[in-house]
Chains A and B, each alone.
Chain A
Amino acid sequence: MAAARPALRRAVPSLRSTFLPHHQQPQCHHHVTISRRSLSTSSSFRNDTPNTSSSSTADRETHFGFSTVTESQKRALVASVFTSVADSYDKMNDLMSFGWHRIWKDHFVSTLNPGFSPLSSSSDPSSSPQHILDIAGGTGDIAFRMLNHAHVVNQNPNVKVTISDINRAMLSVGKSRSSEQLPASQQAALSFIEANAEDLTKTRPLQPILSQQEQTFFDPSTATSSIPDNSVDLYTVAFGIRNFSNIPAALKEAYRVLKPGGVFACLEFSKADKHPLFNSVYKEWSFRAIPLIGQLVAGDRDSYQYLVESIERFPRQEEFRDMILGAGFRVSGDGWEDLTGGVAAVHRGMKPR
């Protein structure tokens, strides 16, 4: 599955001409101009219309980095980004964050403490089962750590992890890594499904990609199963939610699938502007160095340009916490925890009983 690395700038006009009728094609460019951003308001999002039919929501406007696209376009564009970076995802993460992403992910998993169960004389202390759903976790970073923490640290073998991702290339990378890195008992507790996090009623187990002509992202019409209501103990999404076309829909789905008392946890890049000097250094690094590293190491500048732009467009900590509250979750204290001065943030919520 050696994915070809399409230059995104070439891909975007062809995708746009595919998805839009000709008279509606906007001028396409990735560069930032302040006036264009201020004009690209999405008034459609001000009214919270709970629309579920895919044909009407597919044309709703959203952002792809600093440009404005429709939701269906964004899905396709994000798919091409992640297909092209799937092989070198870990190497690029190490280069961009100087290996710090491993510390963030370790902290994320250890503070969630999956598999912990209180000692009690009446029942077997390790018997309490848990079902963890890791969304957009294609390459398995978080899921492998969850399995290790639950099975080895907390000595609880009854914890099952399901990795879900819309991108089959990322899932295939995760599956091959799991067979190389995990012991057999942990592999048995792991499953891979293709799904769109905004609608978890349509899923299917991972089908390996057999030819380059196949679509690398999940097509809901091929769904064979679904995730039932109130079935998940812990729902995690790490560095994935900013790529979703419709974040409130994903939060509503998270609320649906979680059991009462279940925990929603999100690790994501966020705003570091409480420390202005550090923030300006961080922004310089993001916008100058990261696309350059992407070009030199992975040969794919545009994907990494999208990456830093999508980080910039993601809502700040307070706004995202309000969106989590809006989906019905309860939070604790402020509702988030800043990591590394706000470069990343962990948001946690609980579905009430």
Chain B
Amino acid sequence: MASRAAVNRSGAARRILLLLPTRPVTRSLLAAVTTRSVTTLPSASTYPSRQRNKLPQPRQQGQQQPSSLQQRTYHSTTHPPPPGPFTPAETSLLTTALTSHVPVHGFTLQSLTLAARDLSLLDISPSFLGPAPIARLIHFHLYTTRTTLSSLAAQHTDLLSGLTIPEKVELLTWLRLKQNEPIIQHWQQALAVLAQPSHVPTAVKELAMLADEVYYLAGDKSVDPSWYTKRGALSGIYAAAELFMTTDKSEGFQETRRFLRRRLQEAEELGGAVKGVGEWVGFTASAGINVLRSKGVRI
């Protein structure tokens, strides 16, 4: 009896399932509401293509592997880093532009086209960089200065040894600021491009990654919420110092370095003050609770 009832129920379920719409359009509505699937129709493409769930096939020699295939969300000290958002063809064009032409012509299409001519490419070649080639060039500058910071730190181990972590942070930030020297006269223009709404996410992400890189190279090993507050504070300080540097005319940018030191000092004092206030509040609250308990309040 019970088994027959079970069979009837499953038969009814199957009949209901058959009634569900199978037209692709309504299936897509269902998919939109229920799952996060990427496509709703079978992708039986008639052209050779990678299957979605397989590992990427090894490519023929000479073909680049797009960077989106190699992104990983973890950091590893024992494996080489992933290639990053710039492909080799892009990297050669943008490096030539940054080193040879941006100091003279600024972050403009002029620099990119002259760089293309240097590499025996065509005037139209910079168009392959995407819809915003100038922003791409500026992003490339941010990316290369950040990723070469570790090799810079390795060159200055004599300076870095024997310093406390805040002092190392100051030195590494100063090294990063000095990397802007060749193009500093065009940096205000570059910041204006980065301030456009479509490029703000890239700029903010690069700033956050730079702050993390500086603290990592300084040897910071904190695992408490101060991880976030330190990096947030450094992001703000670095952005202010960078902007200050664009109008600094002093010898060797000493004024910028003093500005940086003053801001870091303030952040430390503020951190100490916040910690002190927190301690006072905690002590006062627990003392107050103990007083109330001594009066008989059940807390």
A299 within 8 A of B: no
18 further interface pairs, Cβ-Cβ under 8 Å (given A118-B123, A234-B127):
A34-B22, A45-B47, A116-B109, A118-B114, A128-B123, A233-B124, A262-B124, A271-B38, A279-B28, A280-B25, A283-B24, A283-B25, A312-B24, A319-B49, A319-B50, A321-B66, A332-B86, A348-B127
* Contact across chains for A280 and B85 when beta carbons are under 8 A apart: no
With A61-B46, A261-B121, A284-B25 already in contact, the answer to whether A118 and B136 are too (CB < 8 A) is: no
* Contact across chains for A332 and B123 when beta carbons are under 8 A apart: no
**B residues within 8 A CB of A174?**
none
1/0 per position for A36-59, CB-CB distance to B under 8 A?
011011100110100000000000
Q: Which residue of A lies closest to B113 (CB)?
A: A118
With A118-B113, A352-B89 already in contact, the answer to whether A259 and B131 are too (CB < 8 A) is: no
Binding stretch for chain A, among B29-37, B217-225, B226-234, B281-289? B29-37
1/0 per position for B85-111, CB-CB distance to A under 8 A?
111111000000000000000000110
In the bound complex, how far is the Cα of B133 from the Cα of A111, in angstroms? Answer: 9
A96 within 8 A of B: no
**A residues within 8 A CB of B67?**
333-334
Interface of B, helix, strand, loop or mixed by DSSP = loop
Instruction: Give me the interface of A with B, judged by CB distance under 8 Å.
Output: 32, 34, 37-38, 40-42, 45-46, 48, 61-63, 68, 107, 111-114, 116-119, 128, 130, 233-234, 247-248, 259-263, 265, 271, 273-274, 276-277, 279-280, 283-284, 287-288, 312-313, 315-316, 318-319, 321-323, 325-326, 328, 330-335, 337, 346, 348-350, 352-353
B78 within 8 A of A: no
B55 within 8 A of A: no
- Among A279, A284, A333, residue most surrounded by chain B Cβ atoms (within 10 Å): A333
Nearest 7 CB-CB pairs, A to B? A261-B121, A330-B89, A350-B128, A276-B32, A261-B122, A42-B46, A111-B131
**B residues within 8 A CB of A40?**
44
With A259-B122, A333-B85 already in contact, the answer to whether A319 and B31 are too (CB < 8 A) is: no
* Contact across chains for A322 and B44 when beta carbons are under 8 A apart: no
Can you name 10 A-B residue pairings with CB atoms under 8 Å?
A38-B42, A40-B44, A45-B46, A273-B38, A276-B31, A276-B32, A283-B40, A321-B66, A325-B63, A350-B89
Range of interface residues on B (Cβ < 8 Å) = 35 or more
In the bound complex, how far is the Cα of B121 from the Cα of A313, in angstroms? Answer: 35
**A residues within 8 A CB of B44?**
37-38, 40-41
**B residues within 8 A CB of A284?**
25, 29
With A319-B45, A331-B66 already in contact, the answer to whether A107 and B131 are too (CB < 8 A) is: yes
In the bound complex, how far is the Cα of B127 from the Cα of A111, in angstroms? Answer: 7
**B residues within 8 A CB of A323?**
47-49
**A residues within 8 A CB of B116?**
261
**B residues within 8 A CB of A38?**
42, 44
Q: Which residue of B lies closest to A264 (CB)?
A: B128
B130 within 8 A of A: yes
